[in-house]
Amino acid sequence: MFVVCDICQVNISTAQEYDRHMCGKRHQARLKSYEERKKQSNCSVFVKGFPPGTKDIELENYFSYFGKVKHVFFDKQHNKVKGRSFAIIEYEAPNSAQIALSYKSHVLNSEHLIVRPRDFKELQTTPYFPWQKEKERQQLPWSNYEEPNQIGAFGQQRQQFNMGRGHFGNKGRGQYGNMGPGQYGNMGPGQYGNMGPRQYGNVGQGQYGNMGQAQYGNMQQGQYGNMGDPYGEDMGFGNQGYMSFYGEGEEQTQEEIAKRKKDIEKQKIQKLQKERAKKEEEEQLPITLEELNQYMQQKMVIGISNQMNTMIELLQVTPEELQQRYTICKTLEDALSPFFPGVAINQFGSSVNGFGIRGCDMDVYLDLSKIGIPCRSAKIQLPYHRDIRSVKKNAGPFNQEEVDSMSNYDKVKLISRILIEHAPSCHNTLTVPSNRCPLIRFQHEVSGIKCDLSVNNKLALQNTRLLQTYSLFDQRVKPLIYAVRYWAKVKGLAGNPKAGNQLSNYALTWMVLYYLMNTKPSLVPTVEYLASLCGNDRTWIDCWDCSFVAAQMIPSSKNIQTTEELLHGFFSYYGSFDFRASCICVRTGLIIPVAKMVLDKTMKVGVVNIQDPFVLNHNITLNVNDKMASKISQELKIAETKSKTWFDVKFAETKSITDIFNDIVPEGLNLDAVNKTVDASGLVLGKYQFLVPMKTQNMTPIKLRELEEEGDIYLGWCKRMVKFIYGLIERVLMFDCEIRTTNLPEEFHKKTRTYDHSKKVKLATTGVKRGPDSTDEVTNAKKSKTEENKVIEDKKPSANSENTEEQKNKNPQCQVDARKEDSEVPMETSGAEGKVPEGPVDPFDAEIDFSKNEIFLDMDVLVFLRIWAERKKIGNKLKERGFQESIELEQTISETLYYDYLKPSRRPILEFRLIIRSDVKPGMASSLLVEAISRPGMKEYDAVFHFVKKFVLKAVEKWF
Ligand code: UTP
């Protein structure tokens, strides 16, 4: 007789051999690897159905919605063949995989994804008799429990082989064990079978155990469901639970239930996500919001300014921590000076700039520019250096020449090895390559302080001193920066400068200082002014003027605002700041239009632009993306509204600094409106409006120069954009456009096609069978109304007989009227037949005042073909034949649909009015507001508007 070890795929024939096998290295290693794989599998989901060419970052971004993603693995075929492939998403926690699996409608790039648990072949982790496994396969699991003798026998045999805690053992003593065979036996296999292993696993033992046999037998689905979590589909009885959620009497369609269920699931996931992110952010803070609140209440700190001062006490780096930081510097010096005699260890960043928060990272700069004579005579051996190209090969300390000949990255690699060998308290040492500033990152063992060590950062040292100067110059600077840093941290806006999209604390500090340069009167001077005070005694680093005077030399400010006023002022100033169009220049204290920055090639521009005070070609906020910029603007507006109440006597007793940190949305502030407020002018978009902003940061200097040569960059852009959008609607989407009014010459709205709809009418009326008409249901729905309207039309005097061509050309409104009557089927009108409609004017016909818009175009758009239907399918087919994504391809898709697939309807499916108008902020920015207006009750209007909006915005982004 022998037992089988599943893990090692071997047979073990004796007890002696068994012991040896189980303790053996190979078995242990395989067991460990199996458990790791199992863990990995539990944390992963299998995904397929995404479009070919999907990038791992897209999947990662999407699946991060359910938890922190560790890895994305594609199958080997991905990118090699054009076809479908699959991917495995591995999360950091199994819970995230469960959440992703419980979500039932995954859509990425408009494709529904199939998300399944990752396959994993379960093995028995302890050896078993071959017949045991066979029996297990043949029989239903519970049948074992009805045969106590057999269990006993297994148990005995297991004991012989030390297998007491095996597969069966766990079950026997666990959930199943609590259920008597009788109780369980009453449940038919069908019922049991409905519960998949995963579902069953999620049902807590307690819940299940509490259900007596009788209860279960008598219960209706609904009653049973009450015990379930109405949210949890992955609980065994979630479905029934959900049904009962509405009560038996209420009739809910399956769709409604599914929709509601989906919403609830979504909300639950969002809530979890939010809580997790918030917790992570809070964990990095020395004092949580709750603790801060409690502290303020207990100590009865009254008044915002006082509370801001208290925050400094609570947040700033303690003297003990400063001492620890000093000790780290000493450790570094001791380890490095034998190799680099005379090395100087300088701290920079928040540890020393006056704005440091307890536990913050420590930034250290090693100055290797003053290597001296070694003071110790002992010979030193350089650590392993085969991959360090520029390092000298012999033993002994470096001299200046040798240090200077090394590349920065080689220096960093060498120093990292020296630290590993000679500074054991520096843990988890890691080199971070970078062209600009390679780093060594480590954690100090005793204090837990994380440290970034660099070798080429004189500029950082100098800007740290500059920040220090500002912090010492006026006592209001520090509380303000602490409060803003804390606010930004709890809101997830700042603090991860290395790789993320948030603002760096350095950038945030400069945002505050820039605001203080622009208060009236200014509270702090500009960097340029500080440099001017140096006279000819200038400091140059890497060709940049880095001069400034000490705080004591600066004339004090005449500004008398309180920190409370200043904090509100900060939120208010940036709450309506146009980040996309303006570049903050802290050196001069001025705003420079982004377009100018691009034209002058001063620095690379992004969504948010703040120029470094010394290195003028460095944009310190280049990492901030669109989403983060919108989040920053939104939080600024919320904080502005909240802090405004501080100046209302009603709230004099209750106001607290924590108001701006909590998640409460102030009454009267419509978050929707805040989200839809798209620019500094506070324009709130309506349901059928969208904005096309001029994204100067994406434009090349050549393009901008062309616009400049045309007279005005911003107006020039508007004109070209109107032409582009008109082309998209009229030429690419093949909608029939008729201009009502515009101030642009014809070359900007040139008609490329004329549609002969009258011919189609003839065909239809002469009884020739029409081709497949995709508008049949609309047509039928309108049929009776159409008949009526036709009669009315016949009774009406002819429009053409009244309006001469000349009149039409003079009066754009006449064009509209003529057009309406020309169209074969009149659109539904809101007024009563034959009467002048009473009440407010239908916006479809309303006169619009364009006097405030530099450029405008108002037109009627008739849609005769569902150009959006099957668009994707045709597009994919064409792409498979080698067509590249382009505006020409979009036009080909439309034409294919028009001529080969859909066949245009003889009646318009829809008519809407499309208005495009400019919003120019002279010398700074511009955008186009696109608005669609339809008559009331227009079917498909919503769908068409959203299609047009998405199409136009995508096309602008890609092809303008
Ligand atoms: P941080 O953004 O880390 O700022 O930059 P901080 O004030 O130290 O805040 P913590 O560490 O997040 O609490 C650290 C230093 O790096 C330099 C500056 O000297 C800054 O003080 N730095 C940072 C630059 O020179 N340029 C940058 O774009 C960013």
Give the rounded distance of the alpha carbon of 235 from its chain centre: 30
At position 406, the amino acid (one-letter code) is: M
CA 912–ligand 1 middle distance (angstroms): 53
Within 13 A of 519's CA, how many CA atoms are on the CB side?
27
* Residue 350 beta carbon below 6 angstroms from any ligand 1 atom: yes
Residue of 695, 677, 719 whose CA lies nearest to 853: 719
Residue of 627, 587, 588 whose CA lies nearest to 606: 627
- Please tell me the predicted confidence (pLDDT) of residue 239: 32
Query: CB–CB of 940/894 below 8 Å?
Result: no
At position 856, the amino acid (one-letter code) is: F
- Please tell me the predicted confidence (pLDDT) of residue 86: 87
Query: CB–CB of 775/903 below 8 Å?
Result: no
* Residue 495 beta carbon below 6 angstroms from any ligand 1 atom: yes
- Please tell me the predicted confidence (pLDDT) of residue 247: 33
pLDDT at 165 over 50: no
The mean pLDDT of 95-115, rounded to a whole number, is: 83
Residue 640, CA distances (Å) to 127, 394, 573 in order: 67, 63, 9
- Per-range mean pLDDT, top range of 51-65, 190-204, 273-287, 469-483: 469-483
DSSP labels, 35-57: HHHHHHHHTEEEEE-PPTT--HH
At position 610, the amino acid (one-letter code) is: I
Share of the chain above pLDDT 90, in %: 43
pLDDT at 626 over 60: yes
* Residue 905 beta carbon below 6 angstroms from any ligand 1 atom: no
pLDDT at 596 over 90: yes
Query: CB–CB of 503/574 below 8 Å?
Result: no
* Residue 316 beta carbon below 6 angstroms from any ligand 1 atom: no
CA-nearest residue, atom 17 of ligand 1 = 460
At 230, is the pLDDT very low, low, confident or very high (cuts 50, 70, 90)?
A: very low
- Please tell me the predicted confidence (pLDDT) of residue 184: 33
CA 651 to CA 654: how far, in whole Å? 5
- Please tell me the predicted confidence (pLDDT) of residue 861: 94
SS3 label, residue 341: coil
- Of all atoms in ligand 1, which is nearest to the CA of residue 356? 13
- Please tell me the predicted confidence (pLDDT) of residue 130: 64
Give the rounded distance of the alpha carbon of 718 from its chain centre: 29
Among 27-31, 231-235, 746-750, which is the least confidently predicted range? 231-235
Q: Express each pLDDT in 666-714 by its tens digit.
A: 877 766 666 655 554 556 788 899 999 999 988 899 999 999 998 899 9
The mean pLDDT of 613-638, rounded to a whole number, is: 94
Q: Express each pLDDT in 381-430 by its tens digit.
A: 777 777 777 777 677 788 888 889 888 988 999 999 899 989 989 998 88
- Please tell me the predicted confidence (pLDDT) of residue 822: 40
In the predicted model, what is the mean pLDDT of the chain? Answer: 77
Residue of 131, 170, 169 whose CA lies nearest to 152: 169
Query: CB–CB of 74/87 below 8 Å?
Result: yes
Residue-level length of the chain: 960
| Terminal CA-CA length for the chain | 77
At 768, is the pLDDT very low, low, confident or very high (cuts 50, 70, 90)?
A: very low
- Of all atoms in ligand 1, which is nearest to the CA of residue 618? 28
- Please tell me the predicted confidence (pLDDT) of residue 483: 97
* Residue 460 beta carbon below 6 angstroms from any ligand 1 atom: yes
DSSP labels, 162-208: T-TTSHHHHHHHSTGGGS-HHHHHHS-HHHHHHS-HHHHHHS-HHHH
* Residue 572 beta carbon below 6 angstroms from any ligand 1 atom: no
The mean pLDDT of 436-456, rounded to a whole number, is: 91
* Residue 504 beta carbon below 6 angstroms from any ligand 1 atom: yes
CA 504–ligand 1 middle distance (angstroms): 7
- Please tell me the predicted confidence (pLDDT) of residue 347: 95
CA 68 to CA 61: how far, in whole Å? 10
* Residue 286 beta carbon below 6 angstroms from any ligand 1 atom: no
CA-nearest residue, atom 16 of ligand 1 = 349
Q: Express each pLDDT in 478-503 by its tens digit.
A: 999 999 999 999 999 998 655 689 99
pLDDT at 231 over 50: no
- Please tell me the predicted confidence (pLDDT) of residue 671: 66
- Per-range mean pLDDT, top range of 534-538, 749-753, 762-766, 824-828: 534-538
Residue-wise burial string across 845-881, b where 16 or more C-beta atoms lie within 10 A, e elsewhere = beebebeebbbbbbbbbbbbbbbbebbeebbeebbee
Pocket-testing residue among 432, 482, 506, ligand 1, by greatest number of atoms within 8 A of Cβ: 506
pLDDT at 607 over 70: yes
- Please tell me the predicted confidence (pLDDT) of residue 907: 81
pLDDT at 951 over 90: yes
Q: Which of the pair, 942 or 833, is modelled with greater confidence? A: 942
- Please tell me the predicted confidence (pLDDT) of residue 635: 94
* Residue 349 beta carbon below 6 angstroms from any ligand 1 atom: yes
pLDDT at 134 over 60: no
Share of the chain above pLDDT 70, in %: 74
CA 233 to CA 257: how far, in whole Å? 12
Within 13 A of 521's CA, how many CA atoms are on the CB side?
6
Among 122-136, 295-309, 666-680, 849-863, which is the least confidently predicted range? 666-680
- Please tell me the predicted confidence (pLDDT) of residue 902: 75
SS3 label, residue 567: helix
- Please tell me the predicted confidence (pLDDT) of residue 743: 95
Angle at 341 between CA 339 and CA 342, to 5 degrees: 140
Q: Express each pLDDT in 38-81 by its tens digit.
A: 999 999 999 988 877 788 888 888 888 888 888 888 876 655 55
CA 722 to CA 917: how far, in whole Å? 8
